Amino acid sequence: MLHPIVRFGAPGLHAPSQPVAAVTDETRRLIDDMLATMYAAPGVGLAAPQIGVPLRVCVIDLSVGKRDGEVMALINPEFLERDGMQLEEEGCLSVPGFNATVARPSRAVVRALDRDGREITVEGTGLLARALQHELDHLDGVLFLDRLRGIRRELMVRKIRRLQRKGRW
């Protein structure tokens, strides 16, 4: 089932999400819905709070469904390692129309449960390290623009608020 993706300003997007207590069929249904919603958008990653579900679940597929074996669903993910630094342009399905260059680790190792409740470890560099950091941030209520330094965040928030007031966003 497709879900509407909530946008900047929706309370659940700016608050930490709760851990999944047990991986069940309900969790797997949530993951399937998140994947369908991500592919329809289309996007390379989606976190549960982006469809209004305050649980620590995210999905990533850098190929957007084009290549088998690239899709990952991460339940209760946490960083084991992060190092290096990369600067690349980044956007978010919850902040459509806005992009910014964000500093992220160039390598990340994450431990999580998969859709069967098995513990997995994912190591990513480059774009995958960026996606992991972006999606795990969502689970803590942090958006990419919160990672911008100084006036850059303030300017983007002002533009979003202006569009929201005009009903154009």
Residues contributing to the site for Zn ion (CB under 5 A): 92
Burial classification of residue 73, based on how many CB atoms lie within 10 Å of its CB (0-12 exposed, 13-18 middle, 19 or more buried):
buried
- Beta carbon of residue 8, minimum distance to Zn ion (angstroms, whole number): 10
Task: State the catalytic residue, choosing from 70, 119, 135, 154.
Answer: 135
Instruction: Give the residue closest to Zn ion by C-beta.
Output: 92
Q: Which is nearer to Zn ion, 30 or 60 (CB)?
A: 60
CA distance 154 to 20: 33
Kindly state the smallest distance separating residue 75's Cβ from Zn ion, in Å: 18
Shortest separation between residue 138's beta carbon and Zn ion, angstroms: 6
Contact between 121 and 110 under an 8 Å Cβ cutoff? The reply is yes
Torsion angle of C-alpha atoms 104, 105, 106, 110, degrees rounded to 10: -120
Nearer to Zn ion, 57 or 92 (CB): 92
Nearer to Zn ion, 23 or 93 (CB): 93
9: left (phi over 0), alpha (psi -120 to 50) or beta: left
CA angle 8, 13, 15 (to 5 degrees): 135
Tell me if residue 135 is catalytic.
yes
Residues designated as active site: 135
